[in-house]
Amino acid sequence: MTKNKHLTDEERLQIENWLKGRHSLKQIASWLGRSTSTISREIRKHTTDSDKSAPYRPPNRCTLRRECKTLHLCAGKPDCTKRCSSCKLCNALCDDFVEDVCSRLYDPPYCCNGCLDERRCTLRRRYYIHKKAHEAYREMLVESRSGANITEGELRALDDFVSPLIRNGQSVHHIVANNPDQFNVCEKTIYRYVDSGLLAARNIDMPRVVRRVRPHKAKPAEHKVDKSCRIGRTYPEFLRLVEQTGVSVVEMDTVLGRKGGKALLTLVFEHCGFMLAFIRDRNTSQSVIDWVDRLYEALGGDRFKAMFPVLLGDNGSEFSNPTALEFDGQGGRRTSVFYCDPYSSYQKPKIEWAHSQLRRVLPKGSSFDHLEQSDINLVMSHINSYSRGGLGDRSPLDLFSFTYGSGIAQSLGIDRIPPNDIVLTPSLLKKGKGGDLVD
What gap in Å lies between CA 124 and CA 33, rounded to an integer? 32
Is the pLDDT confidence value at 151 over 50?
Answer: yes
What SS3 class is residue 50?
Answer: strand
Is the pLDDT confidence value at 254 over 80?
Answer: yes
pLDDT at 270: 93
For the domain spanning 235-430, the CATH number is 3.30.420.10
**Any residues with CB less than 8 A from the CB of 371 and at least 6 apart, and which?**
262, 279, 429
pLDDT at 224: 66
Reported as a pLDDT band with limits 50, 70 and 90, residue 438 is very low
Burial 324-335 (b: 16+ CB within 10 A, else e): bbbebeeeeebb
Is the pLDDT confidence value at 382 over 80?
Answer: yes
pLDDT at 111: 92
pLDDT at 198: 85
What gap in Å lies between CA 255 and CA 192, rounded to an integer? 26
Average pLDDT, the chain: 85
Is the pLDDT confidence value at 150 over 80?
Answer: no
Q: Where are the domains of the chain?
A: 9-66+100-144, 152-211, 235-430
What gap in Å lies between CA 161 and CA 233, rounded to an integer? 35
Is the pLDDT confidence value at 167 over 90?
Answer: no
What SS3 class is residue 339?
Answer: strand
Reported as a pLDDT band with limits 50, 70 and 90, residue 371 is very high
What SS3 class is residue 255?
Answer: strand
What gap in Å lies between CA 222 and CA 148, rounded to an integer? 7
Reported as a pLDDT band with limits 50, 70 and 90, residue 95 is confident
pLDDT at 326: 94
Quick one: average pLDDT of 4-28? 91
Quick one: average pLDDT of 248-270? 92
Is the pLDDT confidence value at 439 over 50?
Answer: no
Decide: 321 and 152 in contact? Cβ < 8 Å.
Answer: yes
Q: Which of 314, 390, 402 is nearest to 357 (CA)?
A: 390
Comparing 99-113, 303-317, 340-354, 359-373, the range with the smallest average pLDDT is: 99-113
For a pLDDT cut of 70, what percent of the chain falls above it?
90
Reported as a pLDDT band with limits 50, 70 and 90, residue 213 is very low
Is the pLDDT confidence value at 73 over 80?
Answer: no
pLDDT at 260: 75
Read off the pLDDT of residues 272-290 as tens digits, 9 standing for 90 and up. Answer: 999 999 999 988 888 999 9
Reported as a pLDDT band with limits 50, 70 and 90, residue 240 is very high
pLDDT at 146: 62
Is the pLDDT confidence value at 117 over 90?
Answer: no
Read off the pLDDT of residues 22-72 as tens digits, 9 standing for 90 and up. Answer: 999 999 999 999 999 999 999 999 998 887 777 777 778 788 888 888 877
Determine whether 93 is exposed, middle or buried from the number of CB atoms within 10 Å of its CB (0-12, 13-18, 19+): middle
Q: Which of 151, 296, 325 is nearest to 233 (CA)?
A: 325
Backbone angles phi, psi at 391, to 5 degrees: -105, 20
Q: Which residues pair with 267 in a beta bridge?
A: 252, 276
Is the pLDDT confidence value at 152 over 80?
Answer: no
CA angle 128, 57, 232 (to 5 degrees): 35
pLDDT at 78: 64
Quick one: average pLDDT of 160-177? 87
**Beta sheet of 310-313, edge-to-edge order:** 275-280, 263-269, 250-256, 310-313, 336-339
Quick one: average pLDDT of 164-186? 84
Reported as a pLDDT band with limits 50, 70 and 90, residue 436 is very low
Quick one: average pLDDT of 378-404? 92
pLDDT at 60: 80
Comparing 68-77, 144-153, 306-315, 429-438, the range with the smallest average pLDDT is: 429-438
pLDDT at 241: 93
Reported as a pLDDT band with limits 50, 70 and 90, residue 243 is very high
Is the pLDDT confidence value at 427 over 70?
Answer: yes
Tell me which DSSP letter residue 47 carries: E
pLDDT at 323: 92
Higher pLDDT, 408 or 171: 408
pTM here is 0.56
